[in-house]
Amino acid sequence: MDAQDKKNSKLRARDLGLPYCGRTGRYNAITDVAGIEVGFHTIIEDTPRPGRKKPVRTGVTAILPHAASPTPVPVYAGVHRFNGNGEMTGTHWIEDGGTFLGPVMITNTHAVGTAHQATIKWMLDRYASTYDTDDFLWLMPVIAETYDGVLNDINGLPLTEADVHRALDRLSSGPVPEGNCGGGTGMITYGFKGGTGTASRAVEFGGREYTIGTLVQANHGQRDWLTICGVPVGQHLRDGTPQSQLQERGSIIVVIATDLPMAPHQLKRLARRAAIGIGRNGTPGGNNSGDIFLAFSTANAHPMAHKAPPTLAIEIVNDEHLDPVYLAAVDSVDEAIVNAMLAAETLGGTQFDRFRIDAIDPGELIRTLNLYGRTTLRC
């Protein structure tokens, strides 16, 4: 199964009337930031592969800034580790150098190595004119993960380099599929089916309009923690089944993109705000969770270091005016997680599964929010 061309068939948070604040971009997605493209490859097989006992439900997500450029374009970036039980490669250099190069890939925990190798091969081919030189150039792609072993045969290592290349070859702008797609295919959020989610905010800064775009791979939280629009819905939506009471065993990756000209130290501060965004949904950052966040800016495009002049002139925003930007990031992270849950579809429950993970019921969610008068509120 491939979700790259699949349109979201379920209503998103705003379609349901949930009272999220702020003005979104055209697609309410990370692709509202100009130049960013997203690609997916999704694998859903309800019958185990030969010699294996569990089904395969996994995939990989690709996010590429400056996607139209024929050469790699460094982007300024910052990272934050809220809870470190997870992996995002390349972060040591982002901390020191303040940039990364190429796509950001998100997959399952045991596919990080495969995705890393495959992404390097793809970049060597895509940017052959850059890397087929005598220069001693190297690549350090950003690969992030969350654990999908409840619903996926993660130990069977089903994801291949060809699968990673399929996601990268399908990069596109426009609406972004959500829920059971790409790296989010087998993920669980607050005891409900989770996965990939996205949102965006338009912000005015210095008389100009900019965009904050967020993409999450949500695989975190316990049912009783779940809070939506300030309502403790997890306390109400209890079905008594074991899978709804699963202990926190997952993680969440948050990618925040913007076209606002921000320096690495500012982007690190922006990445920290993702912790507040995920906290709005109720998580305290469980001990077993890997909550890792990346923020980057497509502004201040400049050549790779070996081609750049000795000094670079960049534009950066004034820190004193960043509060609305921080709020936009927090809001978009919060909404992206709920979009992921609403788009997700029930998975599991076959003779080969230990669990069936149900999608959240939008009708029950609305009824619960109505008990608190939340769906009638507007910003």
Positions marked active-site: 251, 289, 291
Pairing between strand 142-146 and 195-205?
Answer: unpaired
In this structure, which amino acid lies at residue 147?
A: Y
Residues in the chain: 379
Q: Are 217 and 106 contacting, i.e. CB atoms less than 8 angstroms apart?
A: yes
Contacts of 314 (CB under 8 A, 6+ apart): 76, 261, 263, 300, 302
Residue holding tokens 């990939």?
Answer: 196
Contacts of 202 (CB under 8 A, 6+ apart): 22, 23, 24, 25, 32, 209, 210, 211
Q: Are 232 and 226 contacting, i.e. CB atoms less than 8 angstroms apart?
A: yes
For every residue of 294-349, DSSP letters joined together read EEEE--S----GGGS-SS-------GGG-HHHHHHHHHHHHHHHHHHHHH---EE-
Q: Where are the alpha helices (DSSP H) in 52-208?
A: 91-97, 112-126, 128-131, 161-169
User: What residues are paired with 145 via a beta bridge?
Assistant: 107
Q: Are 220 and 229 contacting, i.e. CB atoms less than 8 angstroms apart?
A: no
Q: Where are the alpha helices (DSSP H) in 151-281?
A: 161-169, 233-236, 264-272, 274-279
Sort residue 142 into left (φ over 0), alpha (ψ -120 to 50) or beta: beta
